[in-house]
Structure 1
Amino acid sequence: MPIARAARRATVRLGAVVLAGTLLAACGGPSDEASDSAGGKVTITVDLFGSFGYKEAGLYAEYEKLNPGVTIKQTDTEDEADYWKSLQTRLAGGGGLADVQGIEVGRIASVTQQQADRFEDLRKYGADELKSQFAEAKWAAATAGNGAVLGLGTDVGPEAMCYRSDLLRQAGLPTDREELATKWSTWDGYLELGKKYKEKAPAKSAWIDSVGSLYSIMIGQEKERYYDASGKLIWETNPALKTAWDTSVEAARSGLSAKLDQWSPQWNQAFAAGSFATIPCPAWMLGYIKGQAGDAGKGKWDIAALPGGAGNWGGSYLAVPKAAKNKKEAYELVKWLTAPEQQAKLFQKQGNFPSSTGAIEQVADATDLYFNGAPIGRIFGEAAKAAPVQVLGVHDQNVAQQITNALSEVERKGTAPDKAWSNARKGVANTIG
């Protein structure tokens, strides 16, 4: 899922983009509402999933102020799988599309390899001039074989471990972020500490939210996950994936999980309730934790380096469908939202780590009082530098979903791991053929 993200930014600044000329009158989007063309007014529709944070960080309001006559209307779907399914239906029909559509990193290969004819080549509007502002891997992933640039990167998902220091203290465990990083420098160490937590844990509190999140964060540490560099599907034989599976199974069988589906209402409530003490957190998770735990969680949460080394989980793109009604205006908004200055603001306010090389240096020294003053700029900056450049495949997201579904069976139903693995194989076959 996405959701989306965190960052630091450099000294490169892009001035606010002011729309020139008369703006188009019509607007596109899931609502199909007409925009007011009087006086050069335009409504730019944006359709997203999860929490990109633009509205919350005040970026839409800032853009509208800088561009009189422009109104931004956002729709969003919490679950990325539901969002993607709806987007596919609308792309096939050609109607109901927004001017700007979000694309999760696990889907971008599908866009560049199978749906390039459904999205605008942003080079048409001058996007090729922006290449040097983005991390090379981020830019390359949204570039089709013919060179078409089909999206601009929003954020990346360098990984760390978020934890409730008050709960660890109650269980007699250390709470210092550096000490914890040493004790759980490996995933075996992380599970061992979890077993100690279980012995003296506060009532109704588990070590981790779900084994699905454990799996996702571990597989995010690998260069090759579901496909190899040649495009071959390798998930069944990938030893790194099997290690992530086995570790997740052990966590489930050791009773370390709160058995919560990520993004469910129960999971949301658990952040404030103290239902789990640790959660693997890509940078974009910080804003989500703040939103769910609320003011009462300030100072209770902290962040430490991730077990097993650096990794990446998530990150997204903003794209303009060919069926969009306000293509040029949509591009100008996308360009502005993904510029270094805005990516830096988004990290500082929401935790979304930038994909813009110009933004990363700007936030290198950032700290977060909510997370007990954690040096988030350093923690996530170091993770971003060390994270592998991942091989992306057409069906990454589909395969990942089937594996996490199978792990949920082990976690909740007590399904034998071999049986659950077989179910994952069947699920992948049924989903992608």
Structure 2
Amino acid sequence: MLGASLAACGGGGSSSGDSGQIELTIGTFTEFGYENLITEYEQLHPNIKITHHKTGEGGPYHQNLITKLAAGSGLEDVAAVEEGHFSDIIDKSGKFNDLNEIGPKDVTADRWLPWKYEAGKDKDGRLIGYGTDIGPLALCYRKDLLAAAGLPSDPEGVKSLFSSWDSYFAAGQQYVRKTGGKAWFDASSQLYNSMVNQLDVGYLDRNDQLTIESNPGIKAAWNRITTAIGQGQSAKLTAFGNEWKTGFAQGAFATTVCPSWMLGVVKEDAGPDNAGKWAVTDAFPNGGGNWGGSYLTVPKQSKHPKEAAEFAAWLTAPEQQLKAFQAKGNFPSQVQDLSSPELLNQTDAYFGGAKVGQLYATQAQKVTKAQYKGPGDGQIQENVTTPALQAVEQGTAADQAWNQVVDGAKRIVK
């Protein structure tokens, strides 16, 4: 999941009245698909009343979460945390309950994909978060636009175009040339973040030391994406901004990175008039990766940590995460779901009837470990590299913008 602004939401403050009813709060951002599940849980547990604080974008949500952690009050009993910001939570893991201690004893590691489970631990091995969804990577593209440019357009035919970053950007050059300068992809930050997420080591190593100057893969990804910008391949849009959303409907670009949660975004922004024009393929440059996914945590501020952990454990059980996938497309991290006929047979008429369940299950199996995210990782992505790439798209020299990236990352990771 990506995410959100928590503002205006009241904090935890869970209580139990004279009736013995327990009041729990849960905070989420964007779409987790939990609305019906919360109602179901209340029906199964008449003594529990749940208030759902659901907000929009992830950046403000997580900033607000950190503020409430520092203040020592205001947090929900169950707080969702996106994987890109989970490093900031791990850095303050003492403020969260160890779910292995307070959670149901029948909730064990084998519920989740191994890399997802391991990434929910702090450095002392305490389980801070129950895994919700993941974001296995695929590519979405406009079939009609590729065909008009003389490129393969069916999901099997495009696999040769999308097999590596070299082939992807080579196809982009051909597309720009054949269409008289139309954009190949939507926003450079979307591609760059995917490239960095594929590296064995990201912006920080496991000692939380900044690697931005010593990690050649990061600079190689920067050079590759800024070269593509210079070739006119970028639509120069700000991901999730209004013009980006309009761009889907207007065919302003031919391809976009499509983690599983992006399918719903494409459908909403491109609109019903473009149904059948968009396709999704399980080919992804350099094999795939993961972008997104969240965890449910129980802050120590909670007055009912045991009940909160039981609720979080129930929400992240395979049965409930499958329902969340069916509701909003959030792809489960639970092993049992990846072989579920209900998931594997899930199709999407908007994308030409593609078997999206099978497709993303295949992509999920390609991810064998999670890249370590140190404190500040999400801030570097959102507040440093993204605006620097936008500056390149507006004419700033790539080398100059790279120096800004290095300086900005150093300010975050001191």
Instruction: Report the CA distance between 1:367 and its aligned residue.
Output: 2.6
DSSP 3-state at the match of 1:46:
strand
* Aligned mates of 2:266, 2:78 — CA distance in 1: 26
* Aligned mates of 1:137, 1:244 — CA distance in 2: 24
Give the equivalent residue in structure 1 for 2:45: 67
DSSP 3-state at the match of 1:370:
helix
Q: CA 1:327/1:206 → structure 2, altered by over 3 Å: closer, same or farther?
A: same
Residue 422 (str. 1) matches residue 403 (str. 2): yes
Q: CA 1:69/1:255 → structure 2, altered by over 3 Å: closer, same or farther?
A: farther
Q: CA 1:64/1:127 → structure 2, altered by over 3 Å: closer, same or farther?
A: closer
Give the equivalent residue in structure 2 for 1:359: 337
Aligned partner of 1:123: which letter? Answer: N
* Contact 1:78–1:263 (Cα < 8 Å) also in 2: no
Q: CA 1:170/1:64 → structure 2, altered by over 3 Å: closer, same or farther?
A: farther
* Contact 2:15–2:303 (Cα < 8 Å) also in 1: no
Aligned partner of 1:53: which letter? Answer: G
Identity of aligned residues (%): 40
* Aligned mates of 1:122, 1:173 — CA distance in 2: 51
The two structures have a TM-score, normalised by structure 2, of 0.89
Residue 92 (str. 1) matches residue 74 (str. 2): no
Give the equivalent residue in structure 2 for 1:47: 27
* Aligned mates of 1:340, 1:147 — CA distance in 2: 23
DSSP 3-state at the match of 1:259:
coil
Instruction: Report the CA distance between 1:115 and its aligned residue.
Output: 1.0
| Alignment deviations for residues 86-136 of structure 1 (CA, whole Å, 9 cap, x no partner) | 111111111221121111212323323x21221122223335532221122
* Aligned mates of 1:168, 1:109 — CA distance in 2: 39
Instruction: Give the alignment partner of residue 278 of structure 1, picking from 255, 267, 287.
Output: 255
Aligned partner of 2:399: which letter? Answer: D
Residue 394 (str. 1) matches residue 371 (str. 2): no
Instruction: Give the alignment partner of residue 303 of structure 1, picking from 274, 280, 284.
Output: 280
What does 1:30-429 correspond to in 2, within 5 Å? 30=10, 37=17, 39-55=19-35, 58-68=36-46, 70-112=48-90, 114-127=91-104, 129-130=106-107, 131-201=109-179, 206-304=183-281, 305-362=283-340, 363-389=343-369, 390-401=371-382, 402-412=384-394, 414-429=395-410
Aligned partner of 1:378: which letter? Answer: Q
* Contact 2:103–2:309 (Cα < 8 Å) also in 1: no
| Alignment deviations for residues 307-338 of structure 1 (CA, whole Å, 9 cap, x no partner) | 22111112110111111244333222211111
* Aligned mates of 1:231, 1:430 — CA distance in 2: 14
Total equivalences in the alignment: 404
DSSP 3-state at the match of 2:81:
strand
Q: CA 1:308/1:34 → structure 2, altered by over 3 Å: closer, same or farther?
A: closer
DSSP 3-state at the match of 2:153:
coil
Instruction: Report the CA distance between 1:351 and its aligned residue.
Output: 2.2
Structure 1 residues 194-203 or 254-263, which shifts more?
A: 194-203
DSSP 3-state at the match of 1:277:
strand
| Alignment deviations for residues 62-83 of structure 1 (CA, whole Å, 9 cap, x no partner) | 3333333544333344332222
| Alignment deviations for residues 180-222 of structure 1 (CA, whole Å, 9 cap, x no partner) | 011221212212222332345499x632110000101112222
* Aligned mates of 2:227, 2:323 — CA distance in 1: 40
DSSP 3-state at the match of 2:141:
strand
| Structure 2: runs of 5+ lacking an equivalent | none
| Structure 1: runs of 5+ lacking an equivalent | 5-28
* Aligned mates of 1:193, 1:108 — CA distance in 2: 35
The two structures have a TM-score, normalised by structure 1, of 0.85
Instruction: Report the CA distance between 1:176 and its aligned residue.
Output: 0.4
